[in-house]
Amino acid sequence: MSTFRDLSGITPSGQLTLGNYLGALRRFVQRQYEVDGYYFVADLHALTVDHDPARHRQLTTSTMALFLASGLDPEQATVFVQSDVSAHVHLAYLLECTAHVGELSRMIQFKQKGHRPGTRASLFTYPCLMAADILLYGADRVPVGGDQSQHVELARDLAIRFNSLYGDTFVVPELEPVALAARVLDLQDPGRKMSKSDPEDAAGVIRMLDNPDVIAKKIRRAVTDSDNEVLYDPKHKPGVSNLLDILASLTDQPPRDVATSITTYGQLKQATADAVITTLKPIRRRHDELLKNPAELNRMLVMGAVKAREASEPFLAAANQAIGITR
Ligand code: ATP
Ligand code: MG
């Protein structure tokens, strides 16, 4: 096994979507055999905005069940819930003591949403928690999509500053821009991406747990255009190209090849719905089984938490020691 540590979290800010599966989960499952993988449900990051505790608890459990149901193997990778490993919060505080107010004020989320009345202080400080998520595991390369690069840059800056103030403690992570698989776009508004935090009943968002009828209906109603020509052209035909991208990604073919084998929009929608349903059905079944068997789910959660605590402990101890906490 390579010593490269791959680390990624997903915040349970809504029911996971087909985009989360194709863009993240499926890649985790493939990579777990090649790298030392750390995959976690970032439950603490969902608390920076208004939330309902019962829904939060349910989403955290369901997201973990989807990680496992998609094929993440707790023996192979370290699969855990962030809040089960208290070192994340502890190190986040040490990094708050390293970060400057100025650099946190420049983070995009805070700039966009931080000045509304009632903004939680954690919306200002969460980038330190994210830096802790990364630095705790000595991740040397962090695969990130464009929207996350500012967070990894901050983690790098904090690691470098901490090391120079208190002595060499953290591995300084490199950004590894991932060649993002095509972004899955909203079926009703292919001008933007599908997102789990969209309203629960959004017709353009396919959830991993939608039942087959709902999936077929959402895809049947997907926005296309009036040319009635199946062509892969994301710029001029975003709706049709999005369906081709989904189908291509699920069947492991280039979208242009898929386009040549299909003649009508009706056929395209039918084939896409069939492929999505075939992929998600067993995952949904396994998810439901896990939720009905809390002992099994719990056993896997404990295994993940123990592995994550073991892996993070040396880095937390080194940070405590360096900053002057005696114990
Ligand atoms: P939120 O609305 O809370 O931001 P999200 O659906 O955008 O939710 P993130 O938590 O931002 O999801 O990202 C989790 C992972 O899913 C990341 O690896 C991200 O690149 C991937 N991802 C999210 N949406 C898509 C999408 N539409 N297509 C492909 N990948 C996606
Ligand atoms: Mg997002």
Residue 203 maps to a domain: no
> How many domains is the chain built from?
2
SS3 string of 181-222?
CCCCECCCCCCCECCCCCCCCCCCCCECCCCHHHHHHHHHCC
How far, in Å, from the CA of 13 to the mean position of ligand 2?
Answer: 9
* % of the chain beyond a pLDDT of 90: 91
Distance CA 60, CA 297 (A): 12
Largest CA distance in the chain: 71
Q: Residues 259, 301: one domain?
A: no
| Euclidean distance between CA atoms 185 and 18, whole angstroms | 10
pLDDT of residue 1: 40
Q: Which domain range does residue 306 map to? A: 5-178+294-323
User: Which of 196, 218, 269, 307 is an active site residue?
Assistant: 196
Q: What are phi and psi of 252, to 5 degrees?
A: 60, 50
Tell me which of 3-12, 189-198, 279-288 is least confident.
3-12
Do 166 and 308 have their domain in common?
Answer: yes
Does ligand 1 come within 6 angstroms of the Cβ of 83? Answer: no
Average pLDDT over residues 63-92: 98
22 lines ligand 1 (CB under 6 A): yes
Residue 187 lies in a domain: no
- The span from the first CA to the last CA of the chain, in angstroms, equals 34
Q: Is 62 in the pocket of ligand 1 (CB under 6 A)?
A: no
64 lies in some domain: yes
Write down the pLDDT at residue 179.
Answer: 62
Residue 19, ligand 1, Cβ within 6 A: yes
Closest ligand 1 atom to residue 181 Cα is 29
Q: Is residue 124 part of a domain?
A: yes
Based on the domain organization, do 159 and 25 belong to the same domain? Answer: yes
Reported as a single tens digit per residue, the pLDDT across 180-215 is 556 899 999 999 999 999 999 999 999 999 999 999
Pick the atom of ligand 1 nearest to 198's CA. Answer: 2
Ligand minimally distant from the alpha carbon of residue 198: 1
User: Is residue 228 domain-shared with residue 144, that is, in the same domain?
Assistant: no
Instruction: List Cβ neighbours of 298 (8 Å cut-off, separation of 6 or more).
Output: none
Report the C-alpha gap between 106 and 150 in whole angstroms: 10
CATH of the domain at 55: 3.40.50.620
The answer to the question of residue 236 being in a domain is yes
Residues 314 and 272 in one domain: no
Does residue 308 register a pLDDT over 60?
A: yes
User: Rounded to whole angstroms, what are the CA distances from 252 to 17, 186, 248?
Assistant: 19, 21, 6
Residue 193 falls in the annotated catalytic set: yes
pLDDT grade for 3, boundaries at 50, 70 and 90: low
Q: Is residue 218 part of a domain?
A: yes
* 51 domain residue, yes or no: yes
| CATH label of the domain that carries residue 253 | 1.10.240.10
**How much is the pLDDT for 182?**
65
What does the block give as tokens for 192? 């933007």
Question: Looking at the structure, do residues 157 and 302 belong to the same domain, yes or no?
Answer: yes
Q: Is residue 90 part of a domain?
A: yes
Residues 285, 144 within the same domain: no
Please indicate, yes or no, whether residues 46 and 138 belong to a single structural domain of this protein. yes
Please tell me if the CB atom of residue 98 comes closer than 6 angstroms to any atom of ligand 1: no
234/302 same-domain check: no
What pLDDT, on a 0 to 100 scale, did the predictor assign at position 201? 94
If pLDDT is split at 50, 70 and 90, which confidence band does 142 have? confident
